[in-house]
A and B are shown apart, each in its own frame.
Chain A
Amino acid sequence: MAKISFGGVVEDVVTREEFPLSKAQQVLKNERVAVLGYGVQGPGQSLNMRDNGIPVIVGQRKNTPSWDKALKDGWVPGQTLFPLEEASAKGTIIEYLLSDAGQKEFWPKLKPHLTEGKTLFFSHGFSITYRDLSGVIPPKNLDVILVAPKGSGLSLRRNFLEGSGINSSYAIFQDYSGKAKEKTLALGIAMGSGYLFPTTFENEVFSDLVGERGVLMGAIAGIMEAQYNELRKHGHSPSEAFNETVEEFTQSLIKLAAEKGMDWLYANCSTTAQRGALDWKGKFRDAVAPLFTRLYQRVADGTEAKIVLEKNTQPDYRQKLDAELAQMRNSEMWQAGEKVRELRPENWKKEA
C-alpha cells in the first residue's frame, strides 16, 4: 500500500499498480458477482467488471426501462440477467446498488439469500450506518464491504473505456471470511478504480451527507442567495447581481480553481481582490462554522437520514417538493441566470 501524504497527514492508498487487474481476477475467479439494480451505478460497475473478465450477473425488475437497457447492453435473460431475487440466490457477492429507499424495501426479500460465506457489497454507507431506520441488519456470518466510486456511473464507465480510472473509497463493516479486504480491493479495481482510499461505512455516508447539505449544494446556493439579495437591496440590477454572484464563479473562477487550487487563485488575483478575499475568508468561515457543527451532529445522530426516509413515504411529499423546487426555479436570481446563460457569446453566435 502506498503511503501518501495529504497536506502532512499520511493516508494509505491502493493503486492499480499495486493491486493489478490480474490479481483482482485471481481473487474473484470462483465468485459470481450479482449486481442488483441496473439504474445509476449498476451499469457502469457491472459492464466494467464484465469487460475485465470477472463473472458477473445482473438482477433487475422485469418490464422496466432498466431491464430493456440491460438487454441492449448484452445481458442475456436466464444466463446473465435475472429478476432481483433470482440473482440474489445465484450470486456469491451481492452488490446492493438499489436506491436507499429501494434497499429498505427489498431487504426482507434479499435476506434469505444471504447465506453463510457470501459477501454483501454496497457503494453507499447509508443503509448499514442507519440500519436502525433501514432495517438492513446483515447476518453475522458473511462479509459486508463497500466501494464508493467518486463519480457518476457514467464517468466510471467512460473513464474505464478510455483506460484511465476513477478514485474510490473502500470500507469493511464485517470480515467473516478473513479475506474481506482482499475481496474489497479486487472489486474496486475490477470495477474501474484508478486508486482506492480507505474509509468506514459511517465516514462515507457522513461526509457524503454533510457535503451535499454543505458546500456542494446547500451552503453554496444559500450563500449565493444572500449575496444576490444584498446587491439587489442596494439597487444593483439583476444581471449585475447574478454576474458578480454566480456567473463569474461558474464560468471562470471555478475552472481555474479546479486546475490550480483556491490558494493559487488567491496568490494570483488583483491586489484589491486579494486583500479583500483574505480578510473576509476568515469572517465567513467563523460565521458558518456553528452551522457546520450542527449539520454534522444531525447527520451523525441520524436526524437527517430519518427526515429523508420519513418524507419519502409521505403521500403528499411529491406535491410539496414540486412546489419547493418551483419556488427556487421561479426566483428572480435563477430566472436572471437563465437569461444570462442565453446571452453567453457561445450561445448567441450560433454556428452554421
Chain B
Amino acid sequence: MSSQPFITFDHVTLRLPNRLILEDSSWRVRADEQWAILGPNGSGKTTLVRSLWGGVPLRSGKMAFDFLGSGSQDGDFPPLEAIGYVSLEMHQRLMEQEELQEEFRAYAEKEGEGTTAREVVFSGILASRPLRQEDERRLSEVAQMLDISPLLPRPIRSLSTGETRKIIIARALMKSPRLLILDEPFEGLDEKGRNILARSINGLMTGPMRVILVAHRLEEIIPNITHVLLVKGGRLFLQGPKDAVLTSENLSQLYGCSLRLGKDNGTYFLDYGEEENTPKELPGEYQEGPSEESEGLIEIRDTTVRYGDLVVLDRVNWAMGRGENWAILGPNGAGKSTLVKLILGENLQAYANPIFLFGQRKGSGESIWDIKKRIGVVSAELQVQYRKRISAFEVIASGFYDTIGLYQAPTSTQKEVVSRWVDFLDIKELAKEPFNQLSFGQRRMILLARAMVKSPVLLIADEPCHGLDVSNRIKILRVLEKIGRTNTRLLYITDRPEEILKCITHVMSLDRGKVVRQGRKEEVL
C-alpha cells in the first residue's frame, strides 16, 4: 500500500485562457507521501492544484488519480466529495456570489443580511450531495477544531479576511475529503489560528487524508510533510523528499534572491540576509501634497462600532500625530480592519462617532474624495473589491482618482509617474497585462503602485504581505521601509509582530475591539 501511486502527472500541459502553462510536467505523488508546493507568485502553483479537480483544461499528457481505485476510468477527475479545496481566490468568488445575491435582494426589495458563515460551511457538501444527519455532528467537530463557533451565525460579508479564511477551511474539512488541497491556507490567519490549523492538518495527515499544501512561508512546512515540489516560471523546477529539496541554494534559485534556510526545532525558516547594496531610490514625489499635514493626521475619540448586539470596536481612543508611523497589531476579529474602514469612510458608522481626519471632523462637510485624495491604500480587501477588466497600468493610474476602474484619461504627467513606479517595482512586464489575469501576489504589487502614485499624506498598508512570496515580501517591506522615511506617513496593519518595520514609531495593539496597549514602539513591544 505504502508506495502505491496516488496521483500521477505524465507529461501534462495545461491551458490558461491566454497561454499554455506547466508544459510537459511529470509529477508523481505516492500514497504514503504528503506534499508541499513552493514557488514565487505567478509561477503556476495555484493553476497546478486547480487542475487536480478539473478547474483548468488539460491540453496534453495524462493525469491519473490512482487513489480512485479500479472503478474509475481514464480521464476521470476525482468526485467533488473526495476533494477539499481552499484558496485565496475562493474568498473573492464568495464575495462575487454575495454581491449577486445582494442584487437579487435589492431588486425584490427584500431586507436581509445574506448568506451566513454556516451556510458557506455546508455549501461544500451540498455541491455534491444532500445533507445527512451526521453532517451536524461533523460541523461541531470542525467548528471546535478551528475555534469558529461564534462566527457561524454571522453573515459571511461581515467577517474579516482571516475569519473568512477559517470558514473556507471549515467548508473543505466538512467533507472529510480523501485529498485536501490547501492553497495558502495560513494567509490571513493570526498566530493562534495558524497554530491551530498547523496542528489540525498535521494530525489529519496521520489518517487516510492526503494533503497538498501550497505555501509561501517555510515555517508552514509542517512536520508531517514528506515531499516538496518547487514551481518556477510556469514549470516544475524540482521535486523530491523535503530534506533533499529544501536547501538554501535551491530556494535562492527558486525565488531569485539570496536566502538562507534555517531549521529550528523541526520548523524551517528563511533568513532574508542584508539589504541589497544598491537600493533604488523611490520615485520622486508627484505633487507637493504631503507637506500640508495638519496637527494630527487621525484622531478617533471614544469610538464604538456595533451591529445589533455585536460590538466590533469598543470605546476606542487613538490619535496618530504628525511625524508618526503606526503599526496596528492584533489577532483576527480584533477590529483592525474596522478601524481602517472608519478612516477610509467605508465603515459608515464613522459618521456616528467623533472621528477627526486631517484636522477635520468626519461628517462636517468634507467629502470622502477629499479624504481619499490624501490616503493611499494597499490591502487584501481592496484586492478582493478590485475586479475590473483593465490593464495593470490603468489600475495603477486609477490611483490618481481613487476610483475602482479608470473613468478619466490620465494626463501625460500622470502616465510618466505610473511608469516610474512600474520601473521602481520592476513590474514592467506586468503593466500591459489585464489586471484580472495576474496572480494574487502580482496584483498586490500593482495595488501598491496604485496607492503611491499620488504621493499620499498617509499610506495604509493593511496586511500588505498577505499572499506574497518571500521575494515579493522582502520587496514590499523594503519599499514600505523607504516610504516610512518620506513625507508619507505609514499606518501598517499586521498580525505578525516580527514584520513590524524599523520606520514604525508607534504601535497599538487591539483585541476583541478594545485597545490593549498603545504608545511608542519600544514601550509597547
Q: Which residue of A lies closest to B372 (CB)?
A: A163
A163-B55 in contact given A80-B351, A153-B106 (Cβ < 8 Å): no
Instruction: Collect the chain A residues with CB atoms within 8 Å of residue B370's CB.
Output: 53
State in angstroms the CA–CA spacing of A73 and B102 once bound together: 16
For window 185-200 of A, CB contacts with B under 8 Å fall at none
Q: Which 10 A-B pairs have the closest CB atoms?
A: A163-B403, A74-B348, A352-B85, A74-B351, A352-B53, A350-B127, A162-B404, A154-B106, A53-B367, A51-B368
Complex CA–CA separation, A304 to B351 (angstroms): 43
Range for the number of chain A residues in contact with chain B: 20 to 34
Q: Mark B80-96, 1 if CB is under 8 A from A, else 0.
A: 10011100000001000
Tell me whether B365 and A163 are in contact (CB under 8 A). no
Question: Which residues of B have CB within 8 Å of A153?
Answer: 106
Asked if residues A152 and B106 are in contact (CB atoms below 8 Å), the reply is: yes
- Write the A72-85 contact mask toward B (1 if CB under 8 angstroms, else 0): 11111000100000
Contacts known (A21-B369, A53-B365, A352-B83); A152 close to B404, Cβ less than 8 A: no
In the complex, the number of residue pairs spanning A and B with C-beta atoms less than 8 Å apart equals 81
B367 adjacent to A51 (CB under 8 Å)? yes
CA distance A51 to B405 in the complex (A): 19
Given contacts A66-B111, A163-B407, A352-B85, A47 and B53 within 8 Å (CB-CB):
no
Contact B348 A164 (CB under 8 A): no
Q: List 26 A-B contacts (CB under 8 A).
A: A21-B367, A25-B365, A25-B367, A39-B109, A40-B106, A50-B363, A51-B345, A52-B368, A52-B369, A53-B367, A72-B348, A72-B349, A74-B352, A75-B351, A76-B351, A153-B106, A164-B405, A164-B407, A351-B55, A351-B85, A351-B127, A352-B55, A352-B83, A352-B84, A352-B85, A352-B181
- Chain B residues contacting A349 (CB-CB under 8 Å) are 54
Chain B residues closer than 8 Å to A135, beta-carbon distance: none
Which B residues lie within 8 Å of A47 (CB)? 348
Residues from chain A with a CB closer than 8 A to the CB of B352 are: 74-76
**Bound CA–CA A218/B102 (angstroms):** 25
For the complex, give the distance between the alpha carbons of A29 and B55 in Å: 55
A65 at the interface (CB under 8 A from B): yes
B110 → chain A closest CB, angstroms: 10
A162 in contact with B403 given A50-B363, A53-B365, A154-B106 (CB within 8 Å): yes
Check B403 against A55 for contact (C-beta < 8 Å).
no
The reply to whether A40 and B348 form a contact with Cβ atoms under 8 Å apart is no
Find out whether the CB atom of B103 lies under 8 angstroms from the CB atom of A154: yes
* Chain B interface residue bracket vs A: 35 or more
Residues of A within 8 A of B (CB): 21, 25, 29, 39-40, 47, 50-53, 55, 65-66, 68-69, 72-76, 80, 152-154, 161-164, 349-352
Extra A-B contacts (17), CB below 8 Å, given A40-B109, A349-B54, A352-B83 = A47-B348, A50-B363, A52-B368, A68-B308, A72-B307, A72-B348, A74-B349, A74-B351, A74-B352, A154-B103, A154-B106, A161-B404, A162-B404, A163-B402, A350-B127, A351-B93, A352-B55
Residues of the A chain whose Cβ atoms lie less than 8 Å from the Cβ of B350 = 74
Q: Is B381 an interface residue (CB 8 A)?
A: no
Bound-state Cα–Cα, A80 to B351, Å:
10
Chain B positions 188 through 222: 1 when the CB is less than 8 Å from some CB of chain A, otherwise 0: 00000000000000000000000000000000000
Chain B hits for A65, CB < 8 A: 111
Closest to A70 in B: B348
Task: Name the B residues within 8 Å of A351 (CB-CB).
Answer: 53, 55, 85, 93, 127
Q: Is B128 an interface residue (CB 8 A)?
A: yes
Contacts of A25 in B (CB 8 A): 365, 367
Q: Does B401 contact A (CB under 8 A)?
A: yes
- Asked if A163 meets B53 with Cβ closer than 8 Å, knowing A21-B367, A25-B365, the reply is no
Closest to B347 in A: A74
